Amino acid sequence: MKRFFQTIANIFKIEDLRKRILYTLALVAVYRLGSYIVLPGIDASQLASLQAKSSEGLVGLLNMFSGGAFGNASIFALGVMPYISASIVIQLLGVMFPFFQRLQREGESGRRKMNQYTRYLTILILAIQGPAYMASLHSTLPPEAFVSSITGGWYNIFATLILIGGTMFVMWLGERITDRGIGNGISLIIMIGILARLPMALWLEITEKVNQTNGGFLMLIVELVVLFFVFIATIALVQAVRKIPVQYAKRIVGNKQYGGARQYIPLKVNAAGVMPIIFAQALMVLPMMFSNINAAKGLAAAFNNTTGFWYNFVFAIMVILFTYFYTAITVNPTNMAEEMKKNGGFIPGCKPGKKTADYIDSIMSRITLPGSIFLALVAILPAFARMLGVNNQFASFYGGTSLLILVGVILDTLQHIESHLLMRHYDGLMKAGRLKGRSGM
């Protein structure tokens, strides 16, 4: 405990680190304040039906990413999801089109161009999602909720422009946090939005269990213990890497070779991160769109039951498949083998080139399987929590996107803080070894 308080004191002794932390907290406070500012022309007292609709399904996922702004009809209602969607599309284009592949290899200038294209695509996505969100508001809220003097389509255009400006402002906050604060700004904003739901969810669970007369308090303790172990297991999943030894040859003089120290290629067990769960959750909502068709009513009813066997079985299978798909498009063994060959490295027992690429690909396929199965279990854990009596809001913290994002961003942020401490010759946050974030070794 003494060492913990000493580390906290060391953090605030470093002027640059102290300024970065305070700057980050200030921008996060601005974001949280903006998530409660309702769109002009909407009566905030009439939002009960929208908030009830925003508690489950894909809409609940959007509400989670926006920190509750979606259910508040806030100026930040669309959050950073359009930016994330645009980033994924640009990343996929980098796999399929040579133009974007060249930009990825151009270093800092190429990265700036890719970021610019991502912003343009974000605005295009917002121009589609904004009117869709307004249409959802009109279908969910009562007519008396709209008190603006601007009526009809002009109000929708006015509100869509505000929503576009709100998301772009959130993106700007995230970029400022990344440049002058601590950690990745966009990820940190998403994490803060998720954490903002935790106190109320925990209070509802405590109130419910304390009021039970048949061992409710004991059940609450068991739930918290289980949540702790799930959290630890998820940290292990995020940090797990498989090391492939690589022997690097260093050219000294003329044609003489000097064998350098053996190094490693860190391949992550969960290289896809949280994206497979997001993709799978988005597709699981599709059957509900056909609920009005008689032939599809049975299928829609089965997928509407989030604690049912078939829903969770299909959900887990889709998470596993998307994990392989996303890993395949983000981890390119051929490029890794080429870069290794250019730098004079090789894997003992494998010829440089195609043999090395095939070996890395086979290793990735093997280690992705247990990682994908573990990811699928994490994805369906909230369903088991609901079946055991945990309320819906608190159950979401037992797995799924909430837990994975929390763990990943927390590790990344702590890694940034630790690097500042070690640069100033202070002890790191961990007593033994270096802290590993989502970026790997």
Regarding whether 206 and 180 lie in a shared domain, the answer is no
- Asked, for residue 415, whether it belongs to a domain, the answer is no
Flag whether 21 is in a domain. Answer: yes
**Do 44 and 182 fall within a single domain?**
yes
Q: Which pLDDT score is estimated for 370?
A: 87
Tokens of 51: 């908030």
Q: Do residue 160 and residue 238 come from a single domain?
A: no
Flag whether the pTM goes above 0.85: no
Q: State which of 206-220, 309-323, 417-431 shows the largest mean pLDDT.
A: 309-323
176 shares its domain with 189: yes
Read off the pLDDT band of 60 (50, 70, 90). low
Task: Assess whether 129 and 181 both reside in one domain.
Answer: yes
Q: Which of 269, 224, 230 is nearest to 366 (CA)?
A: 269
- Give the CATH number for residue 269: 1.10.3370.10
pLDDT of 441 reads: 34
- Name the residue among 307, 310, 314, 244 with its Cα closest to residue 280: 314
Task: Evaluate whether residue 441 is within a structural domain.
Answer: no
In a domain, 418, yes or no: no
Whether residues 256 and 116 share a domain: the answer is no
User: Is residue 413 a contact partner of residue 406, using CB atoms and an 8 Å limit?
Assistant: no
Residues 139 and 175 in one domain: yes
Q: Is residue 423 part of a domain?
A: no
Mean pLDDT over 264-280 rounds to: 78
Backbone angles phi, psi at 247, to 5 degrees: -95, 120
Residue 370 or residue 430, greater confidence: 370
Among 181, 196, 211, give the residue marking a domain's end.
196
pLDDT tens column, 348-368: 888 888 888 888 888 888 888
Question: Domain span at residue 317?
Answer: 197-398
Rounded CA separation 9/58 (Å): 42
225 with 315, same domain? yes
Weakest-pLDDT range from 114-118, 241-245, 384-388: 241-245
**CA distance linking residue 98 with residue 158, whole number of Å:** 39
Q: Which of 26-35, 229-238, 396-405 has the highest mean pLDDT?
A: 26-35
The whole-angstrom distance between residue 330's C-alpha and the CA centroid of its chain comes to 16
- Boundary of a domain, candidates 146, 169, 196: 196
* Same domain membership, residue 120 and residue 172: yes
Per-residue model confidence (pLDDT) at position 23: 92
Structure tokens at 399: 């797995």
Cα–Cα distance measured from residue 355 to residue 352, given in angstroms and rounded to the nearest whole number? 6
Please check whether residues 190 and 149 belong to one and the same domain: yes
Same domain for 277 and 141, yes or no, is no
114 and 92 within one domain: yes
Residue 126 inside a domain? The answer is yes
Total domain count for the chain?
Answer: 2
Asked if residue 3 belongs to a domain, the reply is yes
Last residue of a domain, one of 196, 215, 237: 196
385 lies in some domain:
yes
